[in-house]
Each structure stands twice: as structure tokens, then as C-alpha cells.
């Protein structure tokens, strides 16, 4: 079978025989892959002019809904993906992480896009900046999608997750993708992309796939493109220094393999729950995906007086690991992805053994299925480095397989120093029941790590584990780990967008941003804004209410009703050396009274109060002061219509409470649910 490339809106077979892709367990040919004859410049041109154009027309909510629909579709096809995944050497658990973990990224980004982003094709960032004395000239920041393409150069170890965790973000941002999976396992990526295209959920040009070589693709990138790379640091550095990347300042995000660590706390003793958690976590990170994870634990840092106990417990647990073809029942660890990977890992183990001794390595392991010669099997291996400050190979050489090295430390400063000697890591974990030890490790290690996991008996049952990057959190790390970051929830979306400062009159920027800007026009109408349906409201629509005097009786009554008898609200208090001159109205009374002034009581388009986003009490209001409210439509957020629910949207209102001196005493943003037109 020859794999197909999906470029310029059609499936295309590369010329020539192509590279043979082998079953990792048996060495049998699974498929051939070639991209020969594909014009990579045209591929990128198509993405920019077709895919980008189509995606930019959609709002964040549109894209979010499509991500959810795509996740549901792929989930319905997962059994076929599992069947293919076994050929990569992945067990059922390995495949679950890759396949359903990848699909999970689509669900998460769909939800965050619809909950945290506006129903517009752009994003308004932060608060306005007043740039002039009179307030007629202001500034703001917006994010818009880049007018290019995301080029994803992915690693062999996660052919599904590696693609989906990236495209979930760039598609939500409104930027198309060209996916270049590692050729060795690209047959699984191809199967998933076939379903993405067949679903017809995303518009034409949103995604393209190159299964064979993409050498030369960087010759065609522009400053509107974004390149992401996952793989070895050496390859990443070579690509990052490409002339075109440097000359055009093309954003290049690198997530490289790193020498991650796991630190056992000084407080943890054999037999404790934390000790068992530690052994289980380290063993899992050695054997899941046969240790072929960029987040796997390569350096196991333990108190010097515990190193023997840890070595024995870890060896005992690893002895139970059954190795073989993942399709055979009972196999808990499969092969590496290829013979080349096996040879590379064995070579790195040999290098490490020059300065480390072997603690555990069952070279005569029993093989359940597969071919010992043609399959890429490597048994779990535990090494020990007695002097990690002198013999630094353990901090420089990574065996990208089922391998870890035990490293002793004496005192917290040594543990921190050893963790840092990895020269930048994706993740480190700390297993301890001592919160002060955890604090010291975080403060000492955070600058060298992209993520830190603190594990103890209180969170271990629900923990996602050392090796599992989560779409809500940043995945990346400094130094050796590449210096970049992926995912991170909405933070990741902004990697594919351009932040632009805009300046002008508040009324103009209100029109541009679709968010009311302070100082902008506030037209008033005879119709109360609460009598308007969602579609009829315009940003800036304003109601100025009648005035109300604040009395002593109001304050006393509110104190009795609420139970808030703070001294400042009592007339007989001593106000010397306080912030107040005399009895002052409760802030919550002011905002409640404000609602009494602006709320339109009869049943109408306003369905319910949805909450308060921001509330500030700026100036005290004393007995005898008067207040009135300027209620302004600040922002509108359409909601998806659902069966058996009244079609509606959320409206944000600016509530400006003004005192008798014309100054703002309180400022709030309230939200209401407003019905759409019948």
C-alpha cells in the first residue's frame, strides 16, 4: 500500500516507490510513503489563499463548534485508529494516550474557544489605554489571525496526538495547517486525516498532509506563517537557523526532547504512600510508549540514603513488565517505533554505561509475539550514576526509550542543582508530602522547566501524571527543551495571531472592536434598552436614569437586611483616623439601588441577570448624596441556539454610578441574558 498526500484539495500519490514503513513488532512492510513531485511552494500558496481565507470568515465560536463536531466524528472512528496504531508498536494504553488524548485536545479547545473567546473573528486584548488629557485619543490592542499557514513538523512517537494538539489551536485561531508527520508512523496520521477530510466539517484548505519528505518547505515560508517543530534538539536547531526563517522573522516554535527529572523528597521513606507513588510513576514513564515520550523521566533524583531502596523497588516492579507484540494479550510494553530507533537507544545506553552502572536490564527478556531480530524491542533499563556532578553524561545524553538513571543527592540545594543540570526541561516532578520541600523545589527549579508536577497521596489518584501535557496548560520548556511553548489553553491560540495596537477616538475604536470604549458616543433613545431584543441593541446604547437621594434610613435598613454592620455604616461610630467622614452607604447598597434605577420591571427581552464581571467602589457616598446611573451596552456575545431553550445572547452593560458632583462613585459590568427576536 502506498500512502497518499492530501494537498491543494485532493489526495495525491507521490512519485517513485517511496520509503518502506515497517511494523515495529514484526518488521513487515505496512506501507510506502513518498512526496516526490509535490510542489511545496504551491501547497503553502493554496493554504494561504484558500484555507486562510475560508477560516478567517468564521468566528471563534464557529470554529469552536466545528472542533467539537470533528472530535465527535473522530471518536466514532477510533477503533479503526487503534487497529492501525498497534503496528507502530503502541499498546492499548499507548494508543489511548495518542488517539483519545489527541481527540481530547479538540474537545478542550472547542470548549475554551466558545467560553473564553468572543463570537467574532478577532480578539480584543486587555483594557483601553487613555492617551490624552481630554480622553478623545485612546489606544487598545487586538489580535487578528495571521494571513499565513501553520507548518507542523511532528515527531514519530505520537502520530495522532502530535497533530491534533497543534491543529486544535491553529484552527481555533483561524489559520490553516500543513501537517508533516514523521514518515515512520505517518500511516496512522494519514488514516486520521482521511476522516478529517471526509467529515467535511472544516472548510476547504484548512488542513493538508505530507506523508513523505518535506525537505525544502521552509524555502517558501513568509512572515505570516508559523512553523512548529517537535523532535530532536539538533534537528530543531538546524531548521530554526534556516535562512528564510531568520530573514523573514518567521515564528518558529520548537518542542525538543529533554532530560526530564523526577525528584523524590527527603521526607519520603520506603513503605509510605508517596514512596509507592514515586516507584509507580517512574516505572510508568519508562514503559509507556516504551519510553518514547519527550516528557519521559530520564533522570531519577533521589536522596543518597534511599538510592538502594529505590533501585530494588524499581527493579522489582519492572520485572513484571511483559514485552512483545501489542496485539498479543498480556503485553504491557511494545517495541520502539523502528529498528533505527532501537539501534539509537542501544547506542546511547552504551555511552551512558561508560560513567554509569547497570541497576536493572533483563537482556534475556521473554518476548510475547513479534520478531526478536526484525522487531524494535528494547527491555526496560535502569542505570545509576554515583557522581553526577563529575560524570555529567547523565545530564547530556538522552536514550529515547525505556531508560532512566538513578542520581543521588544530599540536601535540597543539590537536588535543585542536579535538576537544573538538564539545561532546560519540558517537565519535572516532585514526589513529597512536605509542602515546604515542594515549595523549595518549585522556586529553585521553575526557571529551568516548562511544567512542574507535585505529587502526594492527596492528589495522586486524580493526577494526570508526569508525562501527560494537558491542553489547558503550557507544554514546552526553556533551553534544551526548545525555548518554546504549545497549548496553554487560549494562550496557545495567540501564537497564530498578530497582536496589533490600535489608536483613535473612543467612538471609532468602539466601532472597530465591538466593545464600548470609555469616552465613546453614548446615544440615548426613547425606548428603554431592556425593551430591545439582542439583535436590536447596538454597542454604546445608553440610558441615563433619574436621581435618588441616599438617606440614613436607607443605610440602616440595608444594614439590618444584610446583616452588614461594619462600623463605617453606623452613624454613632468614631470616624477619627479612618477613611470616612461620617456614616457611609454600603457599596452593595449602591449597586442594588443602581439596579432599582435602571431595571425595567415588566416582562420583556431581558430574561435574567447573569452576573457581575467587574465591580469597583470608587468614591464613598454619604447621607444626603444623590446618585444616578448611566447604563451603557458594552458588549454582545451571541449564544448558540439550543433545542427547548429560548434563543438568546449575553449582553454586558457598563453601570456607571454618578454622584451629585458628577463624579463616578461606583463602576460595574453586569451581564444579562437577552432574548433574540422571535
Mean pLDDT of 384-402: 93
C-alpha cell recorded at residue 659: 454622584
Q: Which of 185, 424, 384, 446 is nearest to 294 (CA)?
A: 424
Of 283-287, 359-363, 432-436, least confident by mean pLDDT is: 359-363
pLDDT at position 227 is: 94
Q: How confident is the model at residue 236 (pLDDT cuts 50, 70, 90)?
A: confident
pLDDT at position 482 is: 86
Mean pLDDT of 97-116: 93
Check pLDDT > 90 for residue 488.
no
Burial code of 89-122, b = ≥16 C-beta within 10 A, e = fewer?
bbbebbbebbbbbbbbbbbbbbebbbeebbbbbb
Query: Under CATH, what is the fold of the domain 39-256+491-498?
Result: Aldehyde Dehydrogenase; Chain A, domain 1 (3.40.605)
Q: How confident is the model at residue 121 (pLDDT cuts 50, 70, 90)?
A: very high
Out of 3.40.309.10, 2.120.10.30, 3.40.630.40, 3.40.50.2020, select the CATH number for domain 260-471: 3.40.309.10
pLDDT at position 223 is: 92
pLDDT at position 363 is: 82
pLDDT at position 607 is: 92
Q: Which of the following is catalytic: 211, 261, 262, 294?
A: 294
* Residue 633 annotated in active site: no
Check pLDDT > 90 for residue 237.
no
d(CA 229, CA 256): 8
C-alpha cell recorded at residue 112: 475554551
% of residues, the chain, pLDDT over 90: 79
Out of 3.10.129.10, 3.40.50.2300, 3.40.50.300, 3.30.1490.100, select the CATH number for domain 522-675: 3.10.129.10
Burial code of 192-227, b = ≥16 C-beta within 10 A, e = fewer?
bbbbbbebebbbebbbbbbbbbbeebbebbeebbbb
Phi/psi zone of residue 479: left (φ > 0), alpha (ψ -120 to 50 degrees), beta? left
Please give the torsion angle defined by the CA atoms of residues 446, 450, 452 and 453, in that order, rounded to the nearest 10 degrees: 180
Domain boundaries, the chain: 39-256+491-498, 260-471, 522-675
- pTM for the model: 0.88
* Residue 255 annotated in active site: yes
Mean pLDDT of 401-409: 96
Which residue would you say has higher pLDDT here, 641 or 180? 180
Q: Which of the following is catalytic: 165, 190, 255, 398?
A: 255
Mean pLDDT of 232-239: 84
The CA–CA distances, whole Å, from 424 to 145, 257, 357, 481, 487 equal: 31, 10, 25, 6, 18
Check pLDDT > 90 for residue 642.
no
d(CA 360, CA 651): 63
Segment 315-361, tens digit of pLDDT: 999 999 999 999 999 999 999 999 999 999 999 999 999 999 999 99
Check pLDDT > 90 for residue 362.
no
Q: Are 156 and 186 in contact (CB under 8 A)?
A: no
With a CB cutoff of 8 Å and minimum separation 6, the contacts of 606 are 530, 600, 672, 673, 674, 675
d(CA 420, CA 424): 7
Segment 600-617, tens digit of pLDDT: 888 889 999 989 988 999
Segment 440-482, tens digit of pLDDT: 999 999 999 999 999 999 998 989 989 888 888 889 899 888 8
Instruction: Please provide the average confidence, as pLDDT, over all residues in the chain.
Output: 92
pLDDT at position 238 is: 87
Q: How confident is the model at residue 157 (pLDDT cuts 50, 70, 90)?
A: confident
Amino acid at each position: 500500500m502506498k500512502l497518499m498526500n492530501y494537498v491543494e484539495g485532493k489526495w495525491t500519490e507521490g512519485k517513485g516507490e517511496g520509503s518502506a514503513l515497517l511494523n515495529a513488532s514484526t518488521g513487515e512492510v505496512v506501507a510506502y510513503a513518498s512526496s516526490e513531485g509535490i510542489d511545496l511552494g504551491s501547497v503553502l500558496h493554496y493554504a494561504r489563499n484558500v484555507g486562510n481565507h475560508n477560516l478567517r470568515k468564521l468566528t471563534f465560536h464557529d470554529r469552536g463548534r466545528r472542533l467539537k463536531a470533528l472530535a465527535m466524528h473522530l471518536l466514532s472512528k477510533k477503533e479503526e485508529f487503534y487497529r492501525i496504531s498497534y503496528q507502530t508498536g503502541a499498546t492499548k494504553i499507548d494508543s489511548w494516550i495518542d488517539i483519545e488524548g489527541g481527540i481530547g485536545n479538540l474537545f478542550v479547545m472547542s470548549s475554551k474557544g466558545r467560553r473564553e473567546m468572543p463570537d467574532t473573528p478577532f480578539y480584543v486584548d486587555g483594557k483601553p489605554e487613555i492617551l490624552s488629557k481630554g480622553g478623545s485619543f485612546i489606544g487598545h490592542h487586538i489580535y487578528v489571525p495571521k494571513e499565513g499557514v501553520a507548518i507542523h513538523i511532528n515527531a514519530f512517537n505520537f502520530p495522532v496526538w502530535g497533530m491534533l494538539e497543534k491543529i486544535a489551536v491553529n484552527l481555533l485561531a483561524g489559520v490553516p495547517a500543513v501537517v508533516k508527520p514523521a514518515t515512520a508512523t505517518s500511516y496512522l496520521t494519514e488514516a486520521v486525516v482521511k476522516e478529517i477530510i471526509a467529515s467535511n466539517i472544516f472548510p476547504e484548505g484548512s488542513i493538508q498532509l505530507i506523508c513523505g519528505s518535506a525537505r525544502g518547505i521552509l524555502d517558501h515560508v513568509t512572515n505570516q506563517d508559523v512553523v512548529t517543530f517537535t523532535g530532536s534538539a539538533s534537528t530543531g536547531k538546524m531548521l530554526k537557523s534556516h535562512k528564510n526563517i531568520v530573514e523573514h522573522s518567521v515564528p518558529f516554535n520548537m518542542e525538543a526532547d529533554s532530560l526530564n527529572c523526577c525528584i523524590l523528597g527527603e521526607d519520603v521513606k520506603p513503605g509510605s504512600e508517596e514512596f509507592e507513588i514515586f516507584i509507580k510513576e517512574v516505572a510508568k514513564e519508562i514503559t509507556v510508549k516504551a519510553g518514547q515520550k519527550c516528557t519521559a523521566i530520564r533522570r531519577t533524583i533521589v536522596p543518597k540514603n534511599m538510592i538502594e531502596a529505590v533501585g530494588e523497588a524499581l527493579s522489582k516492579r519492572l520485572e513484571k513488565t511483559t514485552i512483545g507484540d501489542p496485539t498479543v494479550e498480556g503485553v504491557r510494553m511494545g517495541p520502539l517505533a523502528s529498528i533505527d530507533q532501537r539501534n539509537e537507544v542501544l547506542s546511547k545506553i552504551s555511552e551512558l554505561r561508560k560513567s554509569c552502572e547497570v541497576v536493572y536490564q533483563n537482556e534475556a527478556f521473554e518476548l510475547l509475539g513479534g520478531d526478536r531480530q526484525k522487531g524494535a524491542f528494547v527491555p526496560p533499563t535502569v542505570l545509576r550514576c554515583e557522581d553526577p556532578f563529575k560524570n555529567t553524561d547523565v545530564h547530556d545524553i538522552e536514550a529515547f526509550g525505556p531508560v532512566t538513571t538513578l542520581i543521588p543527592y544530599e540536601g535540597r540545594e543539590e537536588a535543585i542543582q542536579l535538576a537544573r543540570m538538564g539545561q532546560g526541561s519540558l517537565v519535572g516532578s516532585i514526589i513529597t508530602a512536605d509542602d515546604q520541600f515542594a515549595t523549595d523545589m518549585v522556586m529553585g527549579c521553575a526557571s529551568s522547566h516548562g511544567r512542574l508536577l507535585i505529587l502526594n497521596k492527596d492528589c495522586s489518584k486524580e493526577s494526570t501524571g508526569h508525562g501527560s501535557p494537558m491542553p489547558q496548560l503550557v507544554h514546552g520548556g526553556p533551553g534544551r527543551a526548545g525555548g518554546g511553548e504549545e497549548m496553554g489553553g487560549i494562550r496557545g491560540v495567540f501564537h497564530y495571531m498578530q497582536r496589533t495596537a490600535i489608536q483613535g477616538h473612543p467612538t471609532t475604536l468602539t466601532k472597530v472592536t465591538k466593545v464600548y470604549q470609555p469616552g465613546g458616543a453614548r446615544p440615548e433613545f426613547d425606548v428603554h434598552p431592556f425593551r430591545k431584543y439582542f439583535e436590536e441593541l447596538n454597542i454604546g446604547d445608553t440610558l441615563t436614569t433619574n436621581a435618588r437621594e441616599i438617606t440614613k434610613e436607607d443605610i440602616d435598613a440595608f444594614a439590618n437586611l444584610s446583616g452588614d454592620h461594619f462600623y463605617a455604616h453606623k452613624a454613632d461610630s468614631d470616624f477619627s483616623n479612618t477613611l470616612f467622614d461620617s456614616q457611609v452607604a454600603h457599596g452593595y447598597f449602591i449597586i442594588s439601588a443602581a439596579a432599582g434605577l435602571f431595571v425595567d420591571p415588566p416582562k420583556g427581552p431581558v430574561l435574567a441577570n447573569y452576573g457581575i464581571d467587574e465591580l469597583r467602589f470608587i468614591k464613598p457616598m454619604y447621607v444626603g448624596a444623590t446618585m444616578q446611573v448611566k447604563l451603557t451596552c458594552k458588549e454582545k456575545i451571541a449564544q448558540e441556539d439550543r433545542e427547548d431553550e429560548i434563543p438568546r445572547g449575553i449582553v454586558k452593560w457598563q453601570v456607571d454610578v454618578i454622584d451629585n458632583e458628577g463624579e463616578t462613585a461606583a463602576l460595574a459590568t453586569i451581564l444579562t441574558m437577552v432574548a433574540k427576536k422571535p
